[in-house]
Structure 1
Amino acid sequence: MRRSSNDLIDHIYEAAFVPEIWDDVLEEIARRSRSATGALFVCSQDMPLRGRSTKDVHEFFERFLSGPNPAEEPCVQRMMGEQPTSFVQVDDFLSPEELQADAGRILLRSLGIGVNACSVVTLPKGAVAMFLFNRWIADGGYDTELLGTLDALRPHLARASLVSERLGLERAQNSVAIMENFGLPAAVLRPGGNVLAVNAQFEALDALFIARAFGGVSIVDRSSNALLQTAIGNMQKPDLPPLVASIPIASQVGLPPHVVHVVPLRRSAKDIFTSADLLLVVTQVGVSTGVPSNAMVTALFDLSPAEARLALRLAIGVSLTEAARDCGLSIASARTYLSRIFSKTGTHSQHQLVALLRSAGSLGS
């Protein structure tokens, strides 16, 4: 059902808080602008290209994002360079040769889709949000009226993008603040390794960690740092399973040996403005190991109390049937809870989940 203009604007702002809604927002804008499809890309130097699209091109969109260097395609590069503050036809900025060579356009043409209209929103942390709509080849290009329809919505798309990025920063700051409440030095990194947030206890460990260019972080000990940089690099490879690592650090300048725990934070797999982040938590050697507390699991992975109880029962080695009985759940409800736990922790099996929780066990009890 077609929404009123005010309803659509409300829906755009709702997408800032619930990333899954972007698909529906793009669908409605595509209908209003008589476009075939719509997409939202988020581009930055320290993270892989990511985005959302209208449902009819999800498969194509995933193929494009998983291709070799999608951010290097002529269409993406030219729009990132121009950063148009109103909607423009991308074809007007590319040569015929570039249009023919662009991998995204090749795939779109195979679907019968032609001209693109694009506008770019610059975000405070260095990323850009790129809104892209496409016409059927048979329908020709965008006229002034259709571009005006898109431009009328652009201020709301821009503000929603800014809110989304701000919410991601606040979640990162909350994560390290929670760790500080547990007495643990912590930092949140973007997948490329840039520091998003740190707490005061982490900053005090300047004998163990040093700042790198462009906001990165390294461990002073070379062998430990090699392991950390590998963990950070693996976060940018979607074909690899989530990596949870505990990296030993030898004593430095009067400090005892420490361990830095690298934990993937997947607040929402659909949250394209912050993507998946890495949480670094530092403990001294000798901290008790085992499974983490209910409060720690809830803080790390945004699990509900019921989800945390089930996850922790599984972490001690009981079967799903036993864990369901212990938690007063039917097996069907336990499976539903487990599916949510997998989604929030970025795991895909009970074996991965147990390994993740046992690694997090040394972070506190």
Structure 2
Amino acid sequence: MASETNFIDLIYESAFIPTNWEHVLDQMAQAVNGHGTALFNVSTAATRSIASASLEDLSTKMLKEGWATRNTRAQRLLSIEQHGFINEADYFSDEDYETHPIFTEVMKPLGYGFGTSTFISAPCGDKIIFAVEKKKSKGPVDTASIAYLDRLRPHLARAAMMSSRLEFERINAAVEALHLTGLPSAVLGFNGRVLASNRLLENFIPQIVIAAHDQLRFAHAPANDLLSVAIARFQLADGATFSRSFPLPQLDDAPPAVVHLVQVSGNARDIFTSAAFFLVVTPIDRTKVPDTETIQGLFDLSPAEARVARRLAAGSNVAATATQLSISDETVRSHVKSILSKSGMQRQADFIAAIASIRPMGG
């Protein structure tokens, strides 16, 4: 077991090296005869957490059975005015342990009793919970353990706040990098709130605006629906890779464009950011449609399908495409059906917008 001074150093290192948080959580539990420690960020509907490997049984049950959204224990802890770690046995009775579903269906069957926890409110609005879990067979949390954890608490709070700030700066830097490439972009949170945006996005006003409560809104109403659906699906993705694109029609001086939602990548164990995905807007210039070979390679199309796709992306309709390629309207429609199947898109308009948003090689 590391000395308290060395442990505090490890806590601050975790602000810069997120994977170190797992070691911090393990050592917190070992120091107070606990079974493991969990760290939750409960600031959004999509609760983020990391935990000691020893808590895998508890973490798995909480996740698979959806207890994160109906955790009355966490709700009680957040309602307690506290400035340090609390002994949960002081706030939950034996009757609670025998009647509350979170205990009777989750904690008790796995052998867990009352532990000790604290929550920290960061200036950015994050609410962070550190919870040291203890097996019931090991007895209650003692006062010496609480005192030890209270000495660590200011350092845990500062490191958590540093992690949050550093992650936010990383996201801001990414948005500015997209600005340098000429791409209007923003970073959205788990609830769709705009956390950061670059100046190029202002060129799309009133086609795209940041409205009340920092919510992104499109003048094209169907795009708002598509964004809402995408956010909802992202929240249910449970860590799976996520991306989505949809078109925006021309409005006044703003050109037609494709909106791309791309999941924010980073350390899988980093919970100190509310950033969920990048929103990147690619203006469409139909005079610069990529060549047939590029389209064919990107979507694994046949040469004939790629020729049809390129004509449609350049603005031709089915009849004009059929005339230009000396084939029938039905053949064009058959190719379109195959193109949509291979690309995984539902509508011809979405595929055309995606094609038109691709910048030609060397363009």
Shorter-chain TM band: 0.7 to 0.9
Tell me how far 1:34 sits from its aligned partner.
1.6
CA offsets 1:276-297 (integer angstroms, 9 cap, x no match) = 6211111211275779xxxxxx
State how far apart, in whole Å, the 2-side matches of 1:34 and 1:169 are.
Answer: 35
Aligned counterpart in structure 1 of residue 56 of structure 2, from 55, 58, 65: 58
Aligned counterpart in structure 2 of residue 362 of structure 1, from 355, 358, 363: 358
Larger deviation: 95-104 or 159-168? 95-104
Any idea what SS the aligned residue of 1:256 has?
A: coil
| Counterpart in the other structure of 1:236 | 235
The amino acid of 1:263's aligned partner reads V
| Counterpart in the other structure of 2:129 | 130
Contact 1:108 1:114 in 2 (8 A): yes
The amino acid of 2:16's aligned partner reads F
Any idea what SS the aligned residue of 1:115 has?
A: coil
Pair 1:316–1:68, CA change in 2 (3 A): closer
| Counterpart in the other structure of 2:84 | 86
1:119 is the counterpart of 2:118: yes
State how far apart, in whole Å, the 2-side matches of 1:141 and 1:151 are.
Answer: 17
| Counterpart in the other structure of 2:332 | none
1:304-343 matches, within 5 Å, as none
| Counterpart in the other structure of 1:43 | 42
Pair 1:47–1:14, CA change in 2 (3 A): farther
State how far apart, in whole Å, the 1-side matches of 2:263 and 2:152 are.
Answer: 35
Paired residues in the alignment total 304
| Counterpart in the other structure of 2:294 | none
State how far apart, in whole Å, the 2-side matches of 1:105 and 1:14 are.
Answer: 38
CA offsets 1:82-106 (integer angstroms, 9 cap, x no match) = 2522000223223555443242674
Aligned counterpart in structure 2 of residue 73 of structure 1, from 65, 71, 74: 71
State how far apart, in whole Å, the 2-side matches of 1:281 and 1:166 are.
Answer: 23
CA offsets 1:126-148 (integer angstroms, 9 cap, x no match) = 22110001222123222221100
1:151-166 matches, within 5 Å, as 151-166=150-165
Contact 1:186 1:198 in 2 (8 A): yes
Tell me how far 1:248 sits from its aligned partner.
0.8
1:24 is the counterpart of 2:23: yes
Pair 1:147–1:289, CA change in 2 (3 A): farther
Contact 1:43 1:71 in 2 (8 A): no
CA offsets 1:1-46 (integer angstroms, 9 cap, x no match) = x1122221111112222222212111111111121221111111x3
Contact 2:290 2:359 in 1 (8 A): no
State how far apart, in whole Å, the 1-side matches of 2:150 and 2:92 are.
Answer: 21
Report the TM-score when normalising by structure 2: 0.75
1:171-210 matches, within 5 Å, as 171-210=170-209
CA offsets 1:219-273 (integer angstroms, 9 cap, x no match) = 1211111111111211111358433222111122332212111111121221111
Any idea what SS the aligned residue of 2:75 has?
A: helix
| Counterpart in the other structure of 1:281 | 280
Any idea what SS the aligned residue of 1:235 has?
A: helix
Any idea what SS the aligned residue of 1:48 has?
A: coil
Of all paired residues, the percent bearing the same amino acid is 30
- Give the root-mean-square deviation of aligned CA atoms: 2.9
Contact 2:204 2:254 in 1 (8 A): no
Q: Which runs of 5+ in 1 are unaligned?
A: 292-313, 318-350, 353-357
The amino acid of 1:282's aligned partner reads V
| Counterpart in the other structure of 2:260 | 261
Pair 1:152–1:108, CA change in 2 (3 A): same
The amino acid of 1:281's aligned partner reads V
The amino acid of 1:70's aligned partner reads A
| Counterpart in the other structure of 1:4 | 3
Tell me how far 1:218 sits from its aligned partner.
1.9
1:144 is the counterpart of 2:143: yes
Contact 1:234 1:240 in 2 (8 A): no
Contact 1:36 1:135 in 2 (8 A): yes
State how far apart, in whole Å, the 1-side matches of 2:360 and 2:94 are.
Answer: 59
State how far apart, in whole Å, the 2-side matches of 1:213 and 1:78 are.
Answer: 31
Larger deviation: 240-249 or 169-178? 240-249
The amino acid of 2:117's aligned partner reads C
Any idea what SS the aligned residue of 2:253 has?
A: coil
Any idea what SS the aligned residue of 2:260 has?
A: strand
Tell me how far 1:185 sits from its aligned partner.
0.8
Larger deviation: 175-184 or 119-128? 119-128
CA offsets 1:50-78 (integer angstroms, 9 cap, x no match) = 21111111242133134325143111111
